[in-house]
């Protein structure tokens, strides 16, 4: 930080470099950006990703609520976190009754919920936090449009099916077939929406950036 008078500050703003008011050049100074190597802070490996399974089995958490928005899923106070590994601990901590979800959930668990899951912001973290926790699948009656694309493009499996109408409860085990849209539950088979060809293709390759 350098301290100067208002007149020197104003002259320097115009000059593009430190300058006295009587010394402002005709055109401002332009400096080539000093570019460190490496464009970003992180880079994913470009090695081939093992193909993902099209059937997912796991223990369910039944979140019986519609319109869960992206601030409930991943609150804006954590938006500066950039490491996906750190995001999981904050998952659903702004959703009443689910504040301790991250502590209770285990890798491979499946989240089952209602309509318009992921409404609101386009924030990627609202998908990444589930990936960070190792959640295997989210099944909702419907998803917020951007959230749905977000998950599809990330290669994170989400599926549309109405499971809240069944007697499904926390701790039950289900198996979802992403290709057929069928979900085997203790209450019987429920027909959901199968992955589209594009969605399956992106998912199998581990995300749009791997296609």
Partner 1 sequence: MGKTFAEKVLARKSGQEDVIPGQIVIVRPDHLLTHDNTAAIIGKIGAELREFGVARKEMPVIVLDHVTPAASEKTATNHKNIREFVDRYGIANFYDVGTGICHQVVMEKGHAKPASIIVGSDSHTCSYGALGVFSTGIDRTEAAALLLRGETWLRVPETIKVELKGRFQPGVTAKDLVLTIIGDIGADGASYQAVEFHGNVAALSIEDRITVANMGIEMGAKVAVFPVDRLTRDYLESVGVSESDYDALWADPDANYIRVLEYDLAAIEPVLAFPHTVDNVKPLAEGNGLVFQQLLLGTCTNGRLGDLETAADILDGHSVAPGIRLLVLPASRQIFDQALEKGVIARLSRAGAVILPPGCGPCLGAHQGVLAPGERCLSTANRNFKGRMGCKAAEIYLASAATVAATAVAGTLSDPREL
Minimum gap (Å) between residue 199 Cβ and partner 1: 9
Task: Give whichever of 163 and 174 is closer to partner 1, judged by the CB atom.
Answer: 163
Task: Identify whether the C-beta of residue 90 lies closer than 8 Å to the C-beta of residue 74.
Answer: yes
For the chain, what is the largest distance between any 2 Cα atoms, rounded to a whole number of angstroms? 84
Q: Whole-angstrom Cα distance, residue 121 to residue 64?
A: 21
Minimum gap (Å) between residue 159 Cβ and partner 1: 15
- Write the CA distances from 67 to 63, 118, 119, 173, integer angstroms: 11, 7, 6, 24
- 88 near partner 1 (CB under 8 A): no
> Helices 145-154 and 125-133, interaxial angle, to 10°?
50
- 36 near partner 1 (CB under 8 A): yes
Q: Which of 115, 162, 182, 205 touches partner 1 by CB under 8 A?
A: 115
- 209 near partner 1 (CB under 8 A): yes
Q: Which of 142, 178, 185, 203 touches partner 1 by CB under 8 A?
A: 142
Judged by CB under 8 A, the stretch of 15-23, 32-40, 50-58, 181-189 that binds partner 1 is 32-40
CA 176 to chain centre: 21
Task: Identify whether the C-beta of residue 52 lies closer than 8 Å to the C-beta of residue 157.
Answer: yes
- 75 near partner 1 (CB under 8 A): yes
Task: Identify whether the C-beta of residue 91 lies closer than 8 Å to the C-beta of residue 102.
Answer: yes
Q: Whole-angstrom Cα distance, residue 81 to residue 186?
A: 39
In which element (H, E) is residue 90 found?
none
Minimum gap (Å) between residue 57 Cβ and partner 1: 26
Judged by CB under 8 A, the stretch of 17-25, 77-85, 130-138, 175-183 that binds partner 1 is 77-85
Residues that bind partner 1 (CB under 8 A): 32-33, 35-36, 38-44, 46, 66-67, 69-72, 75-77, 79-80, 82, 94, 115-116, 119-122, 124, 127, 142-146, 148-150, 153-154, 196, 198, 207-209, 211
């Amino acid at each position: 930080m350098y301290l100067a008078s208002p007149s020197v500050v104003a002259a320097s703003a115009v000059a593009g470099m430190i300058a006295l008011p009587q010394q402002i050049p005709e055109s401002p100074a332009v400096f080539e950006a000093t570019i460190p190597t490496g464009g970003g802070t992180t880079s994913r490996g470009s090695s081939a990703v093992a193909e993902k399974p099209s059937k997912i089995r796991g223990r369910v958490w039944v979140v019986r609520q519609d319109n869960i928005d992206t601030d409930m899923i991943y609150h804006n106070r954590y938006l500066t976190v950039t490491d996906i590994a750190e995001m999981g601990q904050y998952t659903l901590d702004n959703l009443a009754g689910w504040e301790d979800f991250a502590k209770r959930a285990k890798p491979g668990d499946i989240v089952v919920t209602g309509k318009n899951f992921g409404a609101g912001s386009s924030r990627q973290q609202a998908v990444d936090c589930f990936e960070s926790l190792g959640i295997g699948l989210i099944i909702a009656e419907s998803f917020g449009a951007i959230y749905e694309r977000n998950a599809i493009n990330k290669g994170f499996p989400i599926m549309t099916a109405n499971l809240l109408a069944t007697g499904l409860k926390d701790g039950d085990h289900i198996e979802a077939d992403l290709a057929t849209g069928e979900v085997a539950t203790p209450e019987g088979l429920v027909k959901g929406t199968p992955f589209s060809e594009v969605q399956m293709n992106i998912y199998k390759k581990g995300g749009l950036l791997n296609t």
